[in-house]
Amino acid sequence: QKEVEQNSGPLSVPEGAIASLNCTYSDRVSQSFFWYRQYSGKSPELIMSIYSNGDKEDGRFTAQLNKASQYVSLLIRDSQPSDSATYLCAFGNQFYFGTGTSLTVIP
Amino acid sequence: ETGVTQTPRHLVMGMTNKKSLKCEQHLGHNAMYWYKQSAKKPLELMFVYNFKEQTENNSVPSRFSPECPNSSHLFLHLHTLQPEDSALYLCASSTGGRATGELFFGEGSRLTVL
């Protein structure tokens, strides 16, 4: 059974701070990793995809992948109240999702 | 038309009823998915269709029966459900083929089984 573990929440950060979300996965052969954001009462939407070891930056978001440690993270710089949501990580052909980490950014 | 549309948005049914969930995508994608989302649990894959062929069935009970008549439409037929089947059912689509790419989700159908 392939599994995804996300850091337990909820996570609260002040506005302007860096939010750090972490995820470990069980499948050593996975090549694709994804972060989705889900606002309350809404469906998930893709924020980042990452396929190679290292960092990938997109605006205020940075995804970090370490395949040897089976670890992927998402950093949100200059956090805004609009970033308050649940963040889901997924791997494989997006068949396996974590339970999500709830993030609240406090104004 | 929005990218992925699901109907109905809310459904209440008894354990002996038969109902269907419908999903339609207007993105020209070739893969469609059903996911189940329950509180405090990971998003759970149920079925995958690639170019109208079912490629994944994640050990889903037979009381859930999918149907994919073409690449734009996906149905989930429900019968003799149990209260623990109450959840949000999400449909998604992607470009399809070997690499899944980004999943585009519909708004979901909230199912309550009495």
How much is the pLDDT for A60? 97
B41 touches chain A (CB under 8 A): yes
How much is the pLDDT for A2? 66
CA dist list (Å): B46 to A26, A54, A66, A104, B33: 20, 32, 29, 30, 7
Q: Which residues of A touch B (CB under 8 A)?
A: 4, 32, 34, 36, 42-46, 49, 88, 90, 93-100
Structure tokens at B113: 């089984």
CB-CB contact of A105 with A84 (8 Å): yes
CB-CB contact of A37 with A63 (8 Å): no
Closest CA of chain B from A94, distance in Å: 7
CA dist list (Å): B54 to A37, B49, B70, B100: 27, 4, 12, 14
How much is the pLDDT for B99? 60
* Strand, coil or helix: B84: helix
Kind and range of the H or E element at B22? strand B18-25
**Which among A4, A49, A98 has CB closest to B102?**
A49
Q: Which residues of chain A have pLDDT under 70?
A: 1-2, 8
How much is the pLDDT for A1? 60
pLDDT band at B114 (very low <50, low <70, confident <90, very high): very high
Mean pLDDT of chain B: 92
Asked whether residue B98 carries a pLDDT value surpassing 70, the answer given is no
Asked whether residue B11 carries a pLDDT value surpassing 70, the answer given is yes
Over residues B39-93, the pLDDT tens digits come to: 888 899 999 999 989 988 888 999 999 999 999 999 999 999 999 999 999 999 9
* Strand, coil or helix: A23: strand
**For chain B, how are helix, strand and coil distributed in percent, rounded to 5?**
5, 55, 40
Q: Which of A43, A36, A39, A38 is nearest to A72 (CA)?
A: A36
Q: How many CA within 13 A on the CB side of residue A42?
A: 13
Tell me which of A43, A48, A50 to substitute to probe the interface with B (most B C-beta atoms closer than 10 Å): A43
Tokens 């690449």 appear where?
B71
CB-CB contact of A100 with A38 (8 Å): yes
Closest CA of chain A from B100, distance in Å: 5
B96 → chain A, closest CA residue: A93
Tokens 């996906």 appear where?
B74
Count of Cβ atoms closer than 10 Å to residue A56 Cβ: 15
Over residues B22-42, the pLDDT tens digits come to: 999 999 999 999 999 998 888
